[in-house]
Amino acid sequence: MRKLFLVFLVLTCFSIAYSADSIIIGVRQVGEEFEGVIATLNVEVMEGSNHVYMDTLPLTEIDTQASARLAREVACETMSVDCSDKDFFYTVRGEFPMIGGPSAGAAMTVLSMAELSGAIINSNVAMTGTVNPDGSVGNIGGLLEKAVAASKYGITTFLVPQGQLAEVSDYEFENGMRVFEVSTVREAYGYFTNNFFEELDDVIYFDEFNDFMKPLSDYLMNYSNTLFNDLNSFYEISSLTPEDSAIIDILINNTLNQRVETLELYNNNSYYSAASYAVTSSINSLYTTYLINYFEKNDTAYLNELLYFLNQSLNDFEETINQPFTLNHINDLEAVNIAVDRFFEAKQLYNEAVEYYKQDDIFSAFYDVAFTYVRLETSRSWLTLKEAFTDELHVEFNQELLKELALSRIENANTMITYAESVDYSTYSVIATNHLDTSRQAYNEGNYIYSLFESLRALSNANLAMQLRGITLEQVSGRIELSKKQARQNINLVQSNDLMPIMALSYYEYSETFEEDSPAQSLTFLEYSKQFSLLSIQMVNSIESSITVPLFNNLNPQEVGYNFTIVGIGLVIGVMLVLLVSYRLLL
């Protein structure tokens, strides 16, 4: 008994404070040349209060320090450990100052994972690469210089980001050092500790989702057909000038092409994508109809009238959308939340239309009015799908139940945007900031569902800013395959808990329509798929306090964490085509 107590005492002390050591490799400039330089990295985890500390000598730049905080987040999520009661200490010691960069992020993450698991680090292994919020390893610069420095230091196994092996494959290192590519910190952890993760199940099932989505696709395609037929009938009896008719002909032709693509997707059982294309063609049909009216009347009073009636429609439906909903099945939760999200997006579009009207940007105002009407219709259609599921569940749901979750997601998105901007400034960072601003405004107005959805879009774009940093065109397909695999893994874990992650499956399906022609858009919707699959479980956990019988015995969101005239012609068509080219509209 005494021996067992001593063993327990030793293990307890070991868990309170333990440290993992390795090296990180940077570059410094010597004259006109660059050379790799070595610094030691020590990571220690102790009982604490969710803080991250970094001690460096010489001083490092802010992006290296930001990498430490992200390393901690990724390590805790990957190892499924609640780190709220732990402090992380990162100590870096080197002889020379390094050029700033986040290339130590992956090594910091792997050592943090070893700390949390108690695994022993192999001192003959080192790596370079950034870490992304999804646990993937990102590209770095100066790879050859870093590899040479690692070899001279005595490293025998050197890990580099996926797709960068070719930069050093022809070089013969003095000590015979082997170089391997890794795509995630999970892979790297195996090399460092000789404890390799089991492959996560990434099989996903679409049958139930397709049964759910097909009626919605049918409805919105019929809605699109009606608008297009009305447009053609109205155009036939109109009296337009040749110049105006030329504009209308181009818009109708574009809409017709969109309708052909819609049918192809539907016949391929891609019902969410078909519905989204139907939404786009509906907007274009309505927009074109408005323009015919405007060209004939040549009076902005028509637009003012449209705005007036649209505002009434929004106000009427808002009374419905703000009422508490009775959930009869747990999958009702996501259908209701999607409907609410689409409604508040419609309100935002209406406000934009009003601003365009005030600025005399008539064509943009007409487009946003059409967009608002169709978005309002999609909100109504999503709400009707709540009746598609039946169960004995009876829960009164209102937005207040998601208030705490919405606030935590805002904070999470803000942290990731700050980190992304410290590493590199990109268009994705700007998009992320815009979504975050909208999320905060919605939260302050008590619209917690819309705030929650917008914060996830902000987080997704911040993640993309980091994932695509330094990536080459040749590496894009590999990045897409990795993102698809991670999305499938998340979806599989949600489905294994008898939930249907509606938005995650929708975005996954939709990403495939962009894969060939617009890889960046494909990656965007795959990132949405990853984030919204997590939301499915997080929302259930948020409302479970309102349910007398527990929904699930072991529903831990962290388990899912790792584990979307000539000048006149140009102005009018440009309003629609800029949106159409930059992204296809979502259902």
What is the structure's pLDDT at 20? 83
For 13-46, what is each residue's pLDDT tens digit?
434 445 789 999 988 888 888 899 999 999 999 9
Fold of 15-193: Ribosomal Protein S5; domain 2 (3.30.230)
What is the structure's pLDDT at 98? 64
Q: Indicate the pTM of the whole model.
A: 0.82
What is the structure's pLDDT at 67? 82
What is the structure's pLDDT at 288? 97
Mean pLDDT, rounded, for 251-274: 97
Mean pLDDT, rounded, for 145-161: 95
- Per the listing, tokens 């970094």 go with 54
567 pLDDT band (50/70/90 cuts)?
very low
In this model, does residue 579 exceed pLDDT 60? no
What is the structure's pLDDT at 3? 43
What secondary structure does DSSP assign to 258-325, as a single string? Answer: HHHHHHHHHHTT-HHHHHHHHHHHHHHHHHHHHHHHHHHH--THHHHHHHHHHHHHHHHHHHHHTS-E
Q: Is residue 469 within 8 Å of 424, Cβ to Cβ? A: yes
416 closest CA partner among 18, 67, 44: 67
63 pLDDT band (50/70/90 cuts)?
low
Distance CA 16, CA 335 (A): 45
Question: What residue spans define the domains of the chain?
Answer: 15-193, 401-564
Amino acid at 549: V
What is the structure's pLDDT at 545? 57
In this model, does residue 7 exceed pLDDT 50? no
Mean pLDDT, rounded, for 195-217: 93
Distance CA 508, CA 526 (A): 6
In this model, does residue 368 exceed pLDDT 80? yes
Cis check: omega of the bond before 58, within 30 degrees of 0: yes
Helices and strands of the chain, counted as H and E runs: 19, 11
442 pLDDT band (50/70/90 cuts)?
very high
Q: Is residue 462 within 8 Å of 416, Cβ to Cβ? A: yes
What is the structure's pLDDT at 62? 55
What is the structure's pLDDT at 12? 39
Give the chain's mean pLDDT. Answer: 86
DSSP state of 18: E
Tell me the H-state helices in 445-518.
Answer: 448-467, 476-495, 502-511
Residue with the larger pLDDT of the pair 579 and 508 = 508
Mean pLDDT, rounded, for 419-431: 85
Residue with the larger pLDDT of the pair 94 and 435 = 435
89 pLDDT band (50/70/90 cuts)?
very high
Mean pLDDT, rounded, for 480-503: 92
Mean pLDDT, rounded, for 179-189: 96
What is the structure's pLDDT at 386? 81
Distance CA 582, CA 580 (A): 6
Of the ranges 199-208, 289-298, 412-421, 535-544, which one carries the lowest mean pLDDT score? 535-544
Of the ranges 26-40, 106-120, 143-157, 229-243, which one carries the lowest mean pLDDT score? 26-40
In this model, does residue 382 exceed pLDDT 90? yes
Alpha-carbon dihedral sign for residues 177, 42, 196, 463? negative
Task: Give whole-number Cα distances, 524 to 311, 450, 459, 473, 527, in Å.
Answer: 32, 19, 11, 16, 5
What is the structure's pLDDT at 466? 85
Mean pLDDT, rounded, for 139-164: 94
In this model, does residue 361 exceed pLDDT 60? yes
Of the ranges 114-123, 191-200, 320-329, which one carries the lowest mean pLDDT score? 320-329
Mean pLDDT, rounded, for 95-112: 81
SS3 at position 240: coil
Tell me the H-state helices in 17-54.
Answer: none
Distance CA 181, CA 467 (A): 16
Tell which phi-psi region holds residue 280, choosing left (phi > 0), alpha (psi between -120 and 50) or beta.
Answer: alpha
Cite the beta strand spans of 75-133 per DSSP E: 86-94, 125-127, 130-131
Q: Is residue 564 within 8 Å of 528, Cβ to Cβ? A: yes
Of the ranges 246-255, 361-370, 484-493, 540-549, which one carries the lowest mean pLDDT score? 540-549
Percent residues over pLDDT 90 in the chain: 62
Distance CA 187, CA 181 (A): 9
- Kindly give the pairing relationship between strand 157-161 and strand 178-182: parallel
Distance CA 518, CA 157 (A): 37
Residue with the larger pLDDT of the pair 245 and 333 = 245
In this model, does residue 418 exceed pLDDT 90? no
Mean pLDDT, rounded, for 84-103: 82
